[in-house]
A and B are shown apart, each in its own frame.
Chain A
Amino acid sequence: MKKIQSFIIACFLLVTLGCEKILEEHPQSQIVPSFFTSSAGVLGGIAGVYNDIRSQWGTEGFSIEMQAGTDEFLQGASSGGGPVHTYNGLNATNFGSAWGVAFTDINTLNGVLKFGQELNESETIKKQYLAQAKFLRAFWYFYLVQTWGDVPLHTEFITVASQSATRDPASEVYKLIIQDLTDASADLPDKPTAPFLGKAATKPVAKFFLAKAYLTRGWLTNSQADFAEAAKISSEIIANKGTYGLDLWQDFGDAYLPANDYGKETMFVSDHANDAKYGYYTVGGAASGGAAQNLTPWFTNWNYPAVSGINSFLNANGALSNSGTAGMVRDAFYGRPYIRIRPNSYKWPTGPNAGKNYFLDQAFVKRDIDSRFANTFYTVYISNTATNNPSTAANNKRGIGYTMRVGVDTAVLFTDYEVPGAPQFMGTTPFKGIIVPPSLWKSDIYPAVKKFMDPTRGSNFNDPSTRPVVLTRFSEVYLVGAEAYLQAGDKAKAAELLNVIRQRAAYRKSNTADQNTAAAEAMKITAIDVTVDFILDERSRELFGEWMRWHDLVRTKSLVSRIKAWNPESGANIKDFHVLRPIPQSQIDRTVEGPAFPQNTGY
């Protein structure tokens, strides 16, 4: 009985001991906000923003938003349709994936700026952290204000939840952007410095964005002072390129070699890595969307493993009809066929551009001397499968049977001129593969952009690319400078800057020195050639498919006119109000305190 009594007393003690402690919380498996006040937290906050930038630039939805519905691109067969291409039904529910990310980052950066002042670190480190934060805050606000106009302006760290939100005038937003970038360009180092290695923000990057912000505000407010400032800063960057470790490659193509991704012409990137953790990369992981995957190489790939039928023929309507065994199989060199967007090669039957298409007749019109066409697009697909084509195969009109030699024969040839006898004959000569001249290009067969390709994928050719996404190239400093000088009234200086990149584009390693000299001379322009449209064409040639076309067109007030002039899919739908994007519906729906959050006009 005594035992039982002891047992009961023991039970009783078991319960009463530590009663108070039972209601205490000790989180172990999550990062709580107090961590943010530490040095690792502040650095992590900056890295978090870079990681978010990586979650947008190079991913599918965002990349399409930045380039679809412009003069450069039409829909590919697997575009999934969508108002962002056509402006047909573009509204608050189908646009704006980066809106929330941008503001999460801005709040995080405001936290970095708040806690970063008080860190127990050297002044040098604190200065660098704060300068990074200011640069990034300006970077996101610059994206926001260009995309949506007036947006909520936050410079304080928000720690108390609020359901109200208001829009601040774009002029205020630009003030903050210019102040932040001015501060950042004073404090950031000339070249990437640990821990911000690779091609993170540096002094020239901040200066470049400052120039572009002045330029953009100049266009918005018609301010000569802003244009002059933009021009001045651009020239300063170019003048100090040695200090900054920046320069142009002699060959345009070298700027896009994977080996040169972090080279002298690359200013600012979002990094990707072949690392499971820091690069979110898994071997054979394909890409199911998800975090931070660089899918850029694939967006413009046509459906080459499926519609490269070796006996494709012209149907009764004169259109290309796929037939026979595919001449190509999917591989790492040519990349995964996403078929989302394609170069705008629509040939206008009538109107001011009758008989022309933007791709060949406006942008890449000097393909003979300008190396940029050949360096940007795949026009030849070399056989990668030994396709056998008996003479008796259906639709084989060549009258011969043969087997394609892997690595030798051309399976698909895109010519930039019309070819009689295409697709199976060059004139009257049978062609082993198929020839696809511009008149036969359509939504699933067209030249793909090659400059982003990542052949290191090997057998895991469905994996995302681990090349960095380059947001700023040194060549763009010349283009921004030229635009600023043009707007500031100095066409001669604009032409001088443009000639630097144009004459560089004339260089080909395969040419003789004389040929290169002649080509460079032929590329030269003079002050009278410089117009806004010319600069926009030049930007297409230099930076085709690099996440800025829509903003370029909006900045230069050319969106509506150039779309109407060149884009058959959206020309009928584009309206003046489309120069601002629709505010995401979630922002409007969730603003339930205070005044309603206004939508942009027209939506």
Chain B
Amino acid sequence: MIKKLYLTLFQAKTAFLLMLLGSSFTILAQDIKVSGIIRDENGDGVPGATILVKGTNSGTASDVNGYYSLSAPATGILTVSYIGYQSMDISINGQSTLDITITPAASSLDEIVVIGYGSQKKRDVTGSVTSVSEVTLKEVPAPNILSQLKGRAAGVSIVSNGSTPGSQGSIRIRGNRTLTTGNGDGLDGPLVVVDGIPYGGLNDINPDDIASMEILKDASATAIYGSRGAGGVILITTKRGKVGKPVLTYDGYHGVTDVLAKYHVMNGQEYAQFKDDAAKYNTVSPGTTPYPLTALESANLAAGVNTDWQDLLYQQGFNTSHQLGLQGGVENTQYSLGLGYFNEKGVISQQNFDRMSIRATLDQKLGKSIKIGLNTINTLSHTNNPGGGGVPGFLTGLSPLSKPYNDDGSVNLFPKLGSIDAAQISPLTLISRADDIVSNSRSIRTFNSLYGEVNILDGFKYRFNAGLNFSQSAFNGYGPPNTYVNNATVQSSSNADLSNTEFWDVNLQHLLYYDKVFAQKHKLGLTALFEVTKNHSLGSNFNVKGVPADYIQTANFALASGAPTANANNGNFFSETGLLSYMARANYSYDGKYMITATYRRDGSSTLSPGNQYFDYPAIGLGWNVTNEPFMKDLSFLTNLKLRGGWGISGNRNVGAYSTLGALSAGYYNFGTTTAGQVLAYTVTNLPASDLGWQSTSQIDFGLEIGLFKDRITGNFDVYHQKTKDILLSVSLPPSNGAGSTLKNLGRTEGKGFESSVTVDIFRNPSGFNWSTDLIYFYNREEITQLTTPKELDNKGNGWFVGQPLTVIYDYKKLGNWQLTDASDGTLAKQTSPIQLPGQIRVEDVDGNGKIDAADRQIIGNFQPKWEGGFTNRISYKGFDFSTVIYARMGMKALVPYLSGTSGGGSGFGFFNQGRSNQYKVDYWTNENPTNAFPRPDGNAGVKDFASVNTYYDGSFIKMRSINLGYTFNSKSLSKAGISGARVYLNATNPFIIWAPLVRDDLGVDPEGNSNATTGTVIGDGVPTRQISVNLNNPPVKQITGGINLKF
């Protein structure tokens, strides 16, 4: 293969040389100056239309008034194009003035769609590709694309990961395929490609830099990305310069944020009652509790103290964004510059995120046939996160009977004084000691891509792409004693943390293109690729105790009394992976009616053992533009009908570096107390897996695209079926075999789904009232079809069941609470193990043997939505525009750990229903309140048996995502001020939740989840990773924004 490519390239170079020689002797035809006005169907000048001399790259753009002027051969042809309008060819015929009226496009099929390693007209595309425009993204002002994309693209599912400033969501396109993972977007997430170069995450992309976004979904479209394509591919095209006068733009907004709602905890009276009840229902020593009201609390109860800790801590936040852009260009040189600033202030003191970005593109023509260009995107961001996202978890556990401030107005450092948790320090120190607490991540990323393109012969093109990507993030943390983040009371216990992570990638691509139309009807496109990718990552993490003074923070570890230590489990790593790829693609279409695309890719990866490193990814796509058939001419209402279908294989690089080699777990031991006895320690925990190969996903997709009544109604419908095999399973081994798990290519999964998006222009009147609606509806059904062997029908330890979705909840089934009547009529006594009491949780005894044990667990739900959707309405009248975006995810469970007693820490109330700390106000059982909702309090142990069953809740929701009201000023009145366009708008983001059972039942503030758990917080038995969990983290925020877009 390499040889073949050498040969091709050699030929190409020869041809190139010849051509260069030839070109210098070419005599150019006589050029004349042509000018005029481009008008729309109403006779108004069209600003920004592109006017090109046909067959060349030279051209210009019309100005604010539609005026253009350029040099062109007197015998040439001008091609005028403008988005939403038909492109037109006009012969110059020696005229120096040419006014041109353009007509709206009958369809949008002539729009150019970016596909992998190239672009196509929309009508020629055979794969399932969703385009998301800049306009759509901007309807939701948000710091990152994931927030903007929620509910906006069929088949794209996004789960929140938290509400702290700078936090990202997790994205899945057409669901999950891999069994063992939860690891962010690493395995089942999409490949992100920016201007042709893999970007590796959506984190740092400034949404304002995006001109358009294409989402490749089916395997016939993604197979050209081979081993990285199975999770879908997001192609981002950034803004580039255009021929024409420099255009300066400013986009800015400022929005204020507030928590959407507070967590509903008990007030002082209720809390005191709750503690009494916990004592009363103590199962070991009835009438007593280890956690009585302290003397201080009793006094405060009598004095009427009732502290709402959330009120004291939550603050109003804001989001502010300022983006400056400059675009322009002359015939041979186009450029764009961008300067962006975004700042988010969170709802908790000192939690904030800011990002600065500088971007530049340059496209330069050299001679007639060579073009080179550069794109550099540089971002610097800071995330401050003192206290982390889990502050509310602590806040809600604080006693409402405790005073937040001392009489002198200072913070009461120990609000739990007198209780067993007396040492815990008030979270109000996050405010009072804001300057001393540090938790800052600084991240810098520079992403650069460069290309060179040579037109070797007519239609034959060579292109070289090089990508250089470097990102570094540094974390500085300092926890001074006597603060919320460090309960210690002495300076020698202050702690400082430093970490550094770096990623750098090189991506080099050689591409050959051949595009030719034969006999007017046969359109052929060929693409060949050779690509090399090398990724590196490096991390280090150190911490130290005993920083002598708070002002030193992390600046000098040498001053600390403790010795710096490297974190053994986290933050210290190094890895390198390499990928070698070859790809070929052929597109052929006949008469605009029949299209076929065939691709073939071969990837070799360093992470697999020699012998298993290469894998092939073939794909084929077919398309039929039915409307172009003669027999359709009579059906004039049908402006577009296209059928397409495809099959392909794609994969994911799911083998991490060095994972085939096996590993020893490292530890330390000291024999005795002297340094002589210090020994490094190892145990064998990972067995080598040298026969690992590639996981692959084959997918069939059928699509239908339809346009009715001059495209007043357009629709896209896709059904697909994907099968994934040789899934890399981290197979949990019987512990008696020593190593806990090993990796094998064993599992199989399937996914089926339906996606639809329909746009209806209900009213279409360019100078009057317009109303259009986008409706998106999609679902995906995942299923495990095989585990390690066909005989293995379940792996309960991991929560995997053949025939079930990839993530299920496998636990006891809650029937309610045991009631007094159950005790009196003997029902309760039939359960012999465990012996329970009225008011405790009753679960189903599946085998009816009177004992509740592992055999009584069952599948009680999953986290796969029944469907997801989005509903956007856009109304405009004269200069006003109004839009709303609604987002829904329906019919799945959410995990609400704080409603159980088994989780502690940030995710919930430790000691739930034990009366040790304040907690969510739930309907708990007492003799007088024989509810089935939540069990009785128990001063001894809280909820011990089957506590997890109360954590599974209907996670469905319908949310108002965004409401926009904008006004665009009349361009004529502005032009005197030198402004060519201006729009002001007001926006409400996440203003309210329309419907959600969790909120309706007052057990949470937002079911959307704030963690698509990446690490296995296994609650109960066998809830694997990937659950959508709703934790007591920072509540989501609602935002009211005012913004302005200006164009000069």
Across the interface, which residues of B come within 8 angstroms of A158, CB to CB?
A: 687, 737-739
Residues on A with beta carbons closer than 8 Å to the beta carbon of B488: 284, 460
Q: Is the CB of B669 within 8 A of A603?
A: no
B580 with A31: CB separation less than 8 A: no
Near B by CB (< 8 A), chain A positions 221-240 give: none
Q: A14-B508, A23-B605, A460-B488 are in contact. Are A198 and B670 (CB under 8 A)?
A: yes
A23-B613, A91-B853, A198-B672 known; A163-B2 Cβ under 8 A = no
Judge if B792 is at the interface, Cβ distance under 8 Å. yes
Q: A33-B661, A306-B418 are in contact. Are A442 and B606 (CB under 8 A)?
A: no
Assess the B664–A36 pair: CB atoms within 8 A: yes
Question: A317: shortest Cβ distance to chain B, in Å?
Answer: 7
Residues of chain A lying within 8 A (CB to CB) of residue B295: 309, 323-325
A545 at the interface (CB under 8 A from B): no
How far is A63 from B418 in the complex, measured between Cα atoms in Å? Answer: 29
Q: Which of B591-599, B677-685, B718-726 contacts A (4 or more CB under 8 A)?
A: B677-685
Pair A592/B670 contact, Cβ less than 8 Å? no
Q: B688 at interface (Cβ–Cβ under 8 A)?
A: yes
A49 partner residues in chain B, CB cutoff 8 A? 683
- Which A residues lie within 8 Å of B610 (CB)? 23
Q: Are A4 and B452 in contact (CB under 8 A)?
A: yes
Question: What chain B residues lie within 8 Å of A91 (beta carbons)?
Answer: 833, 851, 853-854
Smallest CB separation, A87 vs chain B (Å)? 9
Which of chain A's residues have a CB closer than 8 A to the CB of B423? 330, 462
Q: Which of B290, B452, B573, B792 contacts A303 (CB 8 A)?
A: B290
Residue B9 at the A interface, CB < 8 A?
yes
Q: Which residues of B contact A36 (CB under 8 A)?
A: 664, 682, 684
Nearest CB of chain B from residue A140's CB, rounded to whole Å: 12
For B509, the closest partner residue in chain A by CB is: A15
Contact A15 B510 (CB under 8 A): yes
Chain A residues closer than 8 Å to B674, beta-carbon distance: 197
* A250 within 8 A of partner (CB): no
Interface 9-mer from A209-217, A271-279, A398-406:
A271-279
Is A443's CB within 8 Å of the partner chain B? yes
With contact pairs A111-B684, A163-B731 given, residues A88 and B532 touching in the complex (Cβ less than 8 Å): no
Given known pairs A8-B464, A33-B661, A585-B854, the reply for A44 and B422 (CB within 8 Å) is: no
Question: Which residue of B419, B492, B797 is within 8 Å of A586 (Cβ)?
Answer: B797
Contacts of B733 in A (CB 8 A): 161-163, 590
Task: Report the separation of the CA atoms of residues A89 and B840 in the bound assembly, to the nearest whole angstrom.
Answer: 14
Given A103-B736, A589-B797, the answer on whether A44 and B288 have CB atoms closer than 8 Å is no
Shortest distance between the CB of B681 and any CB in chain A (Å): 4
Is A154 in contact with B789, judged by CB distance below 8 angstroms?
no
Give the interface segment out of B386-394, B615-623, B939-947. B939-947
In this complex, the member of A41, A81, A276, A585 whose beta carbon has the largest number of chain B beta carbons within 10 angstroms is: A81
Contact B735–A587 (Cβ < 8 Å): yes
CB distance from B698 to the nearest CB of A (A): 25
On chain B, the residues within 8 Å of A573 by CB distance are: 835
A80:B944 contact, CB within 8 angstroms: yes
Instruction: Determine how close the nearest CB of chain B comes to the CB of A441; give it in whole angstroms.
Output: 11
Which of A108, A165, A272, A323 interacts with B682 by CB under 8 Å? A108
Contact residues in A for B578 (Cβ distance below 8 Å): 22-24
Q: Judging by beta carbons under 8 Å apart, are A592 and B287 in contact?
A: no
The residue on B at minimum CB distance from A586 is B797
Question: Are the C-beta atoms of A31 and B788 separated by less than 8 Å?
Answer: no
Interface residues of B in 532-579 (CB under 8 A from A): 532, 534, 545-546, 562-563, 565, 572-576, 578-579
Is A528 close to B, CB under 8 A?
no
- Asked if residues B673 and A276 are in contact (CB atoms below 8 Å), the reply is no
| Residue of B486, B658, B673, B787 most packed against chain A (CB within 10 A) | B673
Interface string of B669-708 (1 = CB under 8 A from A): 1111110111111111101110000000000000000000
CB proximity of B528 to chain A, nearest CB, Å: 14
Using CB atoms, name the residue of chain A closest to B905. Answer: A288
CB neighbours of B685 from chain A (8 A): 104
Query: Is B126 interfacial (CB-CB < 8 Å)?
Result: no
Q: Which of A8, A30, A47, A151 contacts B454 (CB 8 A)?
A: A8
- Closest chain A CB from B531 CB (angstroms): 8
- CB of A302, distance to nearest CB on chain B (Å): 9
B670 touches A275 (CB 8 A): yes
A297-341 toward B: CB 8 Å interface, digit per residue (1/0)? Answer: 000000101110100000001010011111001100000010100
- B487, CB-defined interface residue at 8 Å: yes
Structural contact, A22 and B580, CB atoms closer than 8 A? yes
Is the C-beta of B604 less than 8 angstroms from some C-beta in chain A? yes
Residues on B with beta carbons closer than 8 Å to the beta carbon of A40: 680
The answer to the question of B740 belonging to the interface, with a C-beta cut-off of 8 Å to chain A, is yes
* Assembly CA distance A79 to B939 (angstroms): 11
B949 contacts A by Cβ under 8 Å: no
| Contact partners of B854 in chain A: CB under 8 A | 91-93, 585, 588-589
- In the bound assembly, the distance between CA atoms of A366 and B788 in angstroms comes to 62
Binds B, one of A50-58, A178-186, A412-420, A481-489: A50-58
Residues from chain B with a CB closer than 8 A to the CB of A105 are 683
Report Cα–Cα, A341/B294, bound state, in Å. Answer: 23
Option from B681, B688, B689, B796 in Cβ contact (under 8 Å) with A47:
B681
**Which residues A563-603 have CB closer than 8 A to chain B?**
569, 573, 584-593, 597, 603
Of residues 256 through 292 on chain B, the ones whose CB sits less than 8 Å from some CB of chain A are 283-285, 287-292
Which B residues contact A (CB, under 8 angstroms)? Answer: 2, 6, 9, 13, 16-17, 20, 283-285, 287-292, 294-295, 366-367, 370, 372, 418-420, 422-423, 452, 454, 462, 464, 466, 481, 486-490, 492-493, 495, 508, 510, 530, 532, 534, 545-546, 562-563, 565, 572-576, 578-580, 604-607, 610, 613, 657-658, 661-674, 676-685, 687-689, 731-740, 742, 744, 787-789, 791-792, 795-797, 833-835, 851-854, 938-942, 944-945, 1021
Q: Could you write out 11 A-B pairs with CB less than 8 Å apart?
A: A19-B580, A22-B580, A23-B605, A30-B661, A47-B669, A88-B833, A88-B835, A100-B740, A197-B676, A198-B677, A283-B562
Q: Which 7 A-B pairs have the closest CB atoms?
A: A89-B834, A107-B738, A198-B672, A284-B493, A81-B941, A22-B578, A100-B735
Q: A152-B734, A198-B673 are in contact. List 6 more A-B contacts (CB 8 A).
A: A5-B20, A283-B493, A326-B418, A329-B422, A459-B489, A587-B735
